[in-house]
A = this chain, B = another copy of it.
Amino acid sequence: MEPFLSGAREQIDVYLGAVLPPASEPPVRLHAAMRYAVFGGGKRLRPALAFAAARACEAEPERVLPVAGAAELIHAYSLVHDDLPAMDDDVERRGRPTVHVRYSEATAILVGDALQACAFGLLAGAGVEAELIAMLAHAAGSEGLVGGQEDDLGFRSEPVTLERVTSIHRRKTAALFGFSVLGAARLVGAPDERLRVLGTFAEEYGLAFQLLDDLGEARDTEKPEECSVLRVISPEAAVERARGHLDRALEALSPLGAPGRWLAGLADHLSGRLP
């Protein structure tokens, strides 16, 4: 899977390098900060999902670059805003100062805002159908990613249930994974039946991913009790749930046959994070 993943990283980086406004053009500071936010060594998982979904539909990954790029820009903007002092107050990300530390808090707010506009501009500029843009707006908006964030903030101080945690994971993470996979499939004209299969995969994969991400964070932090999922179930139970989601993600792919192997590879790769 490593060659596929590193190929995806390279392909999306070239693409985003070309579609983001050049740092040499004004406003130069903002444009430089946008690139700092986007080119910070991310795994590019959302583009990889989009490319693998294109392959699952027997289409060339190049065709879904606008979906892959828009999903990655939304992800990048959400990290910049998450890191802000009023949110997670993180001073480092992937070994580098976060955007508000490197530039300023005001610029970090604006970088996120501009990256979100850029994501929609990228999709629209590629001339995709309006329905695909509406999909991204839904995945990224108050009923998707942003709503998941808001509930995630709120519930640090509130009573919490497993249903609530799953609902947050579904919106905060699985929604944008869903757009990456389904947006790509729609863009290459996949039939409804295949969209259903891919939708199930993306949802299960997304839930597994966020559980494992939470567990990893709990291991790395001094305050594991702040880890959402561990407030409601044991680490062992969380691992079991993640395993269940991954199994169902792989199961969902079986009707696709051989073209589903890149998506299956991504799920296998994620299962490497199971303890």
Contacts and interface: CB of A to CB of B under 8 A. Distances in A.
A39 to B, nearest CB: 15
Interface in A122-141: 122-131, 133-134, 136-138, 140-141
Nearest to A137: B121
A81 B113 contact: yes
Secondary structure class of chain A's binding surface, majority of residues: helix
B118 A153 contact: no
Contacts of A143: 21
A238 interface: no
A105 B86 contact: yes
Contacts of A105: 86
A135 to B, nearest CB: 8
Interface stretch (A25-33, A202-210, A213-221): A25-33
A109 B144 CA distance: 15
A112 interface: yes
A106 interface: yes
A142 B104 contact: no
Contact of A116 (B104, B113, B144): B113
Interface residues of A, number: 56
Interface string A87-107: 100000000000010001111
B147 A27 contact: yes
Contacts of A114: 141-142, 146-147
A221 to B, nearest CB: 19
A120 interface: yes
Contacts of A31: 142
Interface in A167-210: none
Give 5 closest A-B pairs by Cβ, nearest first: A121-B137, A117-B141, A86-B105, A124-B133, A124-B134
